[in-house]
Amino acid sequence: SRTVDGTAVDTEKGTVQVQVTFEGDKISAVRMLQQPNHPQTTAAVPKLVAETLEAQSADIDTVSGATITSDGYKESLQAAIDAKG
């Protein structure tokens, strides 16, 4: 497996950064390295991770009520996917 850190994305709510674990070309895990200390973010993260594992890409839906965090998450995730090459 290979682990890649996404870029740290500064949002209005705080910094969002993900770490993605790949098994071959498949995304096997996503972990938050940085996230805003906010209840909506805490609620949104498991949904974002679950959608990522299902979609196997950063092309996922924004979580209602956590748009800013969702956008930052997707940007950091895409950066990690791109960095993997």
Predicted TM-score (pTM) of this structure: 0.96
Mean pLDDT of the chain: 96
Distance CA 54, CA 14 (A): 26
CA nearest neighbour of 72 among 83, 44, 54: 44
Share of the chain above pLDDT 90, in %: 99
pLDDT digits (tens, 9 = 90+) for 16-40: 999 999 999 999 999 999 999 999 9
Q: Determine the pLDDT at residue 85.
A: 82
Asked if 14 and 38 count as a contact pair (C-beta separation under 8 A), the reply is: yes
